[in-house]
Chain A
Amino acid sequence: MSKRIKNVSISVPILYGNHSVRLEPEERTERTPADHTHKWTVFFKPVLDNIDLTPLIKRVTFKLHETYENSVRLLEKPPYQVTETGWGEFEVIIKLHFHPGAELGINEKNFQIFHALKLHPFNPLIEPLPNGEVHLVLYDELVFQEPTEKVFEILTQKPSNLIPYKLSEKSKRFQEFTRMDEIDELARLDVYIAKVKEEVEKEGNEFQELELQKAALLQQ
């Protein structure tokens, strides 16, 4: 029976989202409905490819739109992704089922990530790619709070938080997140914070002035 390690959290960065390309005629099969315009893949994976979450995750389910046959796709082992064709953007519910049991001590039953499938490019400024490639990849982290020893063991096999600093390729800008992104974001947030604090101070000074005014008025 593994004991829980108190006051410790361990996090695993993950990526989820979807890629989408225009459906080429060659790829159509008989079964492919006519109105499907795109081929898309919705996925869930750890940022680092060498991290294996199988000991923890029993299966991943992707719940697609009801109109799809077998709308709930179960995946027992990585890569956790579903490739389909379709025409519309809908919400995919990515559900993680963890291995039950006291060893892992993970009792989450309803771990869901909602992802809005993106088929069409959203940024009008950027030239859309010829194949209509669209990526919507989102970064997140799985945070295990007070992991049991087993979980700890599994997750400390390899350092999972070592996300890369650079893009593997330039083209993969929309597909990857780097450490630099985090740093940039932090910097940006800092800027905002500083701005806000500045405002706060300004307001504070004005406030004080007004207080003096008021006092002066009252004394008159």
Chain B
Amino acid sequence: MATSGNNTAVYGGDEINAIVLDPGSYYSRVGYAGDDFPKLVIESAYGESKDGGKRFYGDRVGLARENYEVKPIIKDLMVTDWDAAVEQYRYCFEEYLQLQYDEQPILITEPVWTQHRYRQKLIETFYEEFDFPALYLARKPTCVSFQQGRANCLVVDIGHDSVSVTPVIDGISLLKNSMKTNYAGAFINDHIEDLISSQYPKLCTDSYYKIRSKTPTTYPEPAQCVYRALPNGGIGVTPLFDTYMKQHLWHEVKEALVEVPDSKLHGGSKNISNSIYNQDQYKRQFQFPAGQYVTFGIERFELADCIFDPVSYSFKNAKYTEKYPPSNGELTLKNTHEDYKPLKRARKAESNQSTPPPLDRLHITGIRGLTELVSSTLSNIDIDLRALTAHNIIVTGGGSLIPQLTDRLYNELSSINPGLKIRLHAVGNASERTNQAWIGGSVLLSLGTFHQMWVSKHEYEEAGPDRILTQRFR
């Protein structure tokens, strides 16, 4: 039976053009399997007028409207607002992609820390709300490993809401050994806001949508700009919308300025004032929307350093400290399967991980930075697999694009683990790196051997979501 051309012979491929949906905390990606890029990269947020009117998705979100709020759909890679999510996806499928549901099945990626109940809700929603003939759930690290072509690896995903480290063995993500913290992109954004509000009081942080024209000035001179005439004189713009737009601003600052220093800036004998990063060559300027040019020196490095060393950087603003409780990265895995209750709960109630506690070389505070996270995950992996995994560490996610991040990570990992041969792999192409999980899903679905795995709607109707999850999506 001849299948599509050369693919069978060379790659074992069998294209059925299924849909790949990769929800993310910042962006979600939708597209056809077999493509090397998602057709649609859409923000995981929606706009809605305060009194519950029409909803806007995608590019239309960012326009200032009266009484208009922008709310997130996904938090921590899990859907928080199911209605909005369904609507957004419907928008993607029907309006944007204009696909026929029953012609292809859909793959949805999920993080490793999803619980049973969430997954149940997920597949229920998809089977019932949409008419896809079949569905599959894939863990994000598995997809990344497929994209990279490495069956045994350690996936370090530095995203917007979360940084996760997951070992993948034989293409299957190990859940118990995974770790995740919240010291990721959003964390840096918040630090930026904290920094600006505390140390640059004269900085005008009005976002682009407010500004009509500007003349450049140098901070701390006041901004010289002409404001745009907003509907209703700007009264109708909700603070939520404003916050949302400001987030974009911090995001821009982050992408433009932040750079990882070679080593920790704080701690030990290092004094921040002695650091070489105080020198002029490391200073960069950024022009804010209102026209003010601000020079940042060592702050750039401090901002990046905070994901490696969250302990040393505390927020001035208390609301952030609340937002980020100290996290040591350990995931609790209770209730992944509700059917089987652990018998010896009394005895082993304390430890959620059956492997011995991680042996960090560094001082164990309650907080793990990026390196410590990776290192402790490595230490938890079965010793037989450790060398193999350490040699195949994949760094992915938008946050990993910060300059010098991979170098710093590599150096620190190598010094902590002198016995292991550490090797980091990071895709060079920036857009590939942010969409790596989606691309992996696309690869996965193009394989002829994958098609036996689909869970059809028929099956779902017969067996029910619970059984499906426990039997098929283990």
A and B touch in the complex (CB under 8 A): no
Which of B's residues lie within 8 Å of A, judged by CB?
Answer: none
